[in-house]
Chain A
Amino acid sequence: MADVTALEVELVQDGPIPLAARFACRTGELLALVGPSGSGKTTILRAVAGLYRPRHALVRCHGEVWTDSARGVHLPPQRRRAGLVFQDYALFPHLSAQGNVETALGHLPRPERPGRARELLRRVHLEGLEARRPHALSGGQKQRVALARALAREPRVLLLDEPFSAVDQVTRRRLQRQLVLLRQRLPVPTILVTHDLEEAARLADRICVLHHGRTLQTGPPSEILNRPISAQVARLVDLGNIFEGEVAGHRPEAGHTLLRWHGHLLEARLRREIAVGSRVAWVIPPGFVVMHRRDRPSRGERENPVRGRIEELVAFGETTNVTMLVDGAPAPTLHFTVSTHAARRNRLAPGVEVRVSLLAEGIHLMP
């Protein structure tokens, strides 16, 4: 029973907010809903919490039906035991931190509430600030009060709506670390809504990519980032190298599918199900673009070699982002990164000619 699906969500409607979302989350798992603003992420959280009622909805939590529009079931938020951290925290301004947490302890006998609230505030490292009102707390402290209040309900699902968007970078790192530590002791499914893909990749077990309320792909971060199912997903997760090509043939014995692209014939990971001659979108994550040393040849040079000129170099500390114009007409641009040190050693500069290999295992076809 360890792998039991704890939360199942299915939300469908045409308007006013279009939704076509389906996902599930296991106990102890953190699922990140990622998408641009307006992609329906918050609406989905609200529907799970019972604050929003889509036309067709099914929400099941630990076997308990919270919403089933087909059977006319819609439990009010009070009966759902969902811990929700609002984007702007929604703390009660007239109550102290302690009072805010106690508000969510209605399931305990009255005498036990103050002690339990103090314990929860200690758990989020806010001991000593129990009597403070929200206006006297910093952004990070408010977020932790909101988290303590969400945990106070002994939630069966934890819902976090952009919980790190309103704090500075340093606080964000600290809060993220706390969330990771907290999760180790929290046997509930957690849904994190964020527009920050890096944050999602760092914190989530799985990512669910959303666009206009539609779940496009759900999978582990590495799968989403390396094997997006469509050019749309690739664009949404900000993969730079999205191109179009034509399948030229399959070589099962070598494990390759051949791809024609601007006069190049590239070897890609074998995808036999795609018919020869079909146009496909394809993507290569920057990590699979390997630059050849200009002073001496190295191994791997025979793997999909491509020549071109550097268009732009942008150094971000230790790494340098390279934009390269690949030979061909029209000249496609290819993005990859090298260490700043390697960029210097190879005397990279705009206009300089470079050769790269597009590693076959990184070329992902999206029919």
Chain B
Amino acid sequence: MDWEALRLSLELALWTCLLLLPAGTLLARALRSLRPGPRRLIGALVALPLVLPPTVLGYYLLVLMGRASPLGGLYEKLTGGSLVFSFEGLVAASLVFNLPFAVQPLERAFAAIPRNLREAAAVSGLSPVAIFFRIELPLAWPGVLAAFALVFAHTLGEFGVVLMVGGAIPGETRTIAIAIYDRVQALDEAAAGIMSASLLAISFATIALVYLFEPGRRRDG
């Protein structure tokens, strides 16, 4: 069992959730206030990582974050480090490939809030910011939870993009999914089996959360 890889994967998943959930919530809410045309266009862009092969996504992320790129150059100027083949770069890539897993459930949750609740809040004197925090966010809570679970589980399991952008540097970018691959390559079936089982258990527990708190099961009708 490669504990270091498991810890790295969990850290990556937590960082991704921590950064992506607030941003994804704002993005999802912003999408709801757009007209259908622009909303669908941006929605399609957000959904792109779902259908792109991880290698293609990883390749573009490498190009985007490499030292020669403006983003990579800026990051190096600010921190002295490199985005590619580093944990930070992995987090950045993770934010991109998880975008649909965060935004889609959140957008559905916001869409499910009846318009007249928002209006009732406005008529009651709540400012748009207060409406968001006191009415919409509490009602979209199941969506936040779903986004958390999906992003967390998906980050743990992502393989292709992580390999492309991070390589497999032990303690820096070798996540558990890559460690499993390494063990299989090394014909170490026992270690691969244990790690696979752990990943399966964690992923199942996380996804089970979503189904337990499905909006349909709430009784606040």
Segment 68-127 of B: residues with Cβ below 8 Å from A = 114, 116-117, 119-127
Chain B positions within 8 Å of A84 at CB level: 120, 123
| Known A92-B135, A93-B221: A106·B117 in contact at CB below 8 Å | no
| Known A90-B114, A93-B139, A94-B139: A103·B121 in contact at CB below 8 Å | yes
Chain A positions within 8 Å of B123 at CB level: 49-51, 77, 80, 82-84, 153
Write the chain B residue with the least CB distance to A133: B220
Task: Tell me whether A164 is interfacial, beta carbon within 8 Å.
Answer: no
| Known A103-B124, A149-B124: A94·B221 in contact at CB below 8 Å | no
- Most chain A CB inside 10 Å of its own CB: which residue of B125, B134, B221: B125
Write the chain A residue with the least CB distance to B117: A90
B134 touches A103 (CB 8 A): yes
B220 touches A135 (CB 8 A): yes
Q: How far is the CA of A108 from the CA of B56 in the complex (A)?
A: 57
| Known A133-B220, A135-B221: A90·B125 in contact at CB below 8 Å | no
A77 touches B117 (CB 8 A): no
Task: Tell me whether A134 is interfacial, beta carbon within 8 Å.
Answer: yes
Task: Tell me whether B35 is interfacial, beta carbon within 8 Å.
Answer: no
Chain A positions within 8 Å of B221 at CB level: 93, 135
| A334 CB to nearest B CB, Å | 45
B121 touches A92 (CB 8 A): yes
Task: Tell me whether A86 is interfacial, beta carbon within 8 Å.
Answer: yes
Q: Select one of A104, A133, A134 contacting B125, CB under 8 A.
A: A104
| A18 CB to nearest B CB, Å | 22
Segment 174-218 of A: residues with Cβ below 8 Å from B = none
| B44 CB to nearest A CB, Å | 28
Q: How far is the CA of A90 from the CA of B135 in the complex (A)?
A: 12
Chain A positions within 8 Å of B219 at CB level: 135
| B66 CB to nearest A CB, Å | 47
Q: Select one of B117, B122, B135, B138 contacting A78, CB under 8 A.
A: B122
Q: Select one of B120, B121, B125, B135 contacting A107, CB under 8 A.
A: B125
B126 touches A103 (CB 8 A): yes
Cβ contacts B201-221/A at 8 Å (1 or 0 each):
000000000000000000111
Q: How far is the CA of A78 from the CA of B220 in the complex (A)?
A: 26
| B129 CB to nearest A CB, Å | 11
B120 touches A92 (CB 8 A): yes
| Known A94-B138, A94-B220, A133-B220: A86·B120 in contact at CB below 8 Å | yes
| Known A135-B219, A135-B221: A90·B127 in contact at CB below 8 Å | no
| B104 CB to nearest A CB, Å | 22
B122 touches A51 (CB 8 A): yes
Q: How far is the CA of A88 from the CA of B116 in the complex (A)?
A: 9
Chain B positions within 8 Å of A80 at CB level: 123
B124 touches A104 (CB 8 A): yes
A78 touches B120 (CB 8 A): no
Q: Select one of B119, B126, B135, B138 contacting A106, CB under 8 A.
A: B126
Task: Tell me whether A76 is interfacial, beta carbon within 8 Å.
Answer: yes
Write the chain A residue with the least CB distance to B130: A106
Q: How far is the CA of A134 from the CA of B221 in the complex (A)?
A: 8
Q: How far is the CA of A78 from the CA of B130 in the complex (A)?
A: 11
Q: How far is the CA of A12 from the CA of B98 in the complex (A)?
A: 48
Chain B positions within 8 Å of A50 at CB level: 122-123
Q: How far is the CA of A134 from the CA of B220 in the complex (A)?
A: 7
Chain A positions within 8 Å of B139 at CB level: 92-94
Write the chain B residue with the least CB distance to A77: B122
Write the chain B residue with the least CB distance to A149: B124
Binding site for A on B (CB under 8 A): 114, 116-117, 119-127, 130, 134-135, 138-139, 219-221
- Listed from nearest, the 10 A-B pairs whose CB atoms lie closest are A104-B124, A90-B120, A93-B220, A77-B122, A90-B116, A106-B125, A84-B123, A94-B138, A77-B123, A135-B221
A-B contact pairs, 29 of them (CB 8 A): A49-B119, A50-B122, A50-B123, A51-B119, A51-B123, A78-B122, A84-B120, A86-B116, A86-B120, A90-B114, A90-B119, A90-B120, A91-B120, A92-B117, A92-B120, A92-B139, A93-B139, A94-B220, A103-B121, A103-B124, A103-B134, A104-B124, A107-B125, A134-B220, A135-B219, A149-B124, A152-B124, A153-B123, A153-B125
